[in-house]
Structure 1
Amino acid sequence: MKNVLFGLTLFILTATWSYAQKSTIEKEIIQLSMDKWQWMADKDIEKLTPLFHPNAKFVHMSGTWTTARELEIIETGSIWYKKADVKDTAVEIVGNTAVVWNRITLTAEVRGNDVVTEFTVTEVYQKEGSDWKMLALTFSSVRDTHEIQK
């Protein structure tokens, strides 16, 4: 009986610890994603450069491009991500990879015109050492009633 109780207690403690760890990683990734939106709005290339993996891809409504091109677009303001109003977020962690889905209303300036668009944005991050690196960022245009299934 003691062995059963000991085993059950150990299982509960391990499960609780595992859940807390995952929850902490999810919180870290969500915060990083939120910070990224602010850095994009601020055109803060110094903070974005180490976040974006050199081989990352960025998929927009008008094309797909590299990290260098995305940083150039942000720095020059040819697309100015003024504000990302995040409505919903989901995160999946698989090993050292994190996938984030944000449903956002994006206010941006594109070619001198303000536009407001509903998107679900998919972000893929990979842990390299102690840092997370963004491998992909994809904008999918959606209706404002779109929901992220969790």
Structure 2
Amino acid sequence: MTKIKLLIIFLVSYSFTQLAFADDTAEQLEALSDSKWEWMAAKEIAPLQQLFHPNAKFVHMSGSWKTDRELEIIKSGSIWYKKAAIHDRATEVVGDTGVVWSRITLTAHVRGNDVENEFTVTEVFSKVDGDWKILGLTFSKVRDTHEIEH
């Protein structure tokens, strides 16, 4: 076998390994996203504090703020994320960065009322010291017919 054939075999094998790694990482990020919704619904601050990077930014319909305020909002219940029904999701991983787009129906308790809204939520993850951290979480109001391109 020539050196070029060996090199091609190595590169193809390496590419498939990288694709499998990206798939595993995407599944891990999606599981973290699912856990995040459960923790938010249960107002479990400790695991959220571990998941949210201290300098993360959260963008809502009513404004944007950093981690400390988001955790206080969850803890106090001023926004109670009761249930996020996920209808569609796409995840991309590039190196130590991952983005999870989820089309959801969010049931929340806000200012004394239960409300339901359709959102596409964009979560930006980064691997920091070996752990995945959320750097950004953005709620984009969409119609219930909105589709995420895969």
TM-score by length of 2: 0.94
**In 2: Cα distance, 1:4 partner to 1:132 partner:** 38
Tell me the residue number matched to 1:81: 81
**In 2: Cα distance, 1:27 partner to 1:141 partner:** 25
Report the Cα offset of residue 3 of structure 1.
Answer: 4.6
**5+ residue gaps, structure 1:** none
- The percentage of aligned residue pairs carrying the same residue is 57
SS of residue paired to 1:26: helix
* Matched residues, number: 150
Tell me the residue number matched to 1:124: 124
**In 2: Cα distance, 1:3 partner to 1:52 partner:** 48
Tell me the residue number matched to 1:70: 70
Tell me the residue number matched to 1:28: 28
Tell me the residue number matched to 2:97: 97
**In 2: Cα distance, 1:96 partner to 1:132 partner:** 9
TM-score by length of 1: 0.94
Report the Cα offset of residue 130 of structure 1.
Answer: 1.4
Moved over 3 A (4+): 1-9
Tell me the residue number matched to 1:108: 108
Report the Cα offset of residue 98 of structure 1.
Answer: 1.1
One-letter amino acid matched to 1:31 = A
Tell me the residue number matched to 1:40: 40
Higher mean displacement: 65-74 or 11-20:
11-20
**In 1: Cα distance, 2:8 partner to 2:48 partner:** 46
Report the Cα offset of residue 9 of structure 1.
Answer: 3.2
The answer to whether residue 62 in structure 2 is matched with residue 56 in structure 1 is no
One-letter amino acid matched to 1:21 = F
**In 2: Cα distance, 1:146 partner to 1:23 partner:** 25
Q: CA RMSD in A?
A: 1.3
**In 2: Cα distance, 1:136 partner to 1:5 partner:** 44
SS of residue paired to 1:135: strand
Q: 1:101-146 deviations in whole A, cap 9, x for unaligned?
A: 1100000010121111000001111101210111111100000000
**In 2: Cα distance, 1:62 partner to 1:3 partner:** 60
**In 1: Cα distance, 2:95 partner to 2:62 partner:** 32
One-letter amino acid matched to 1:15 = S
**In 2: Cα distance, 1:3 partner to 1:96 partner:** 32
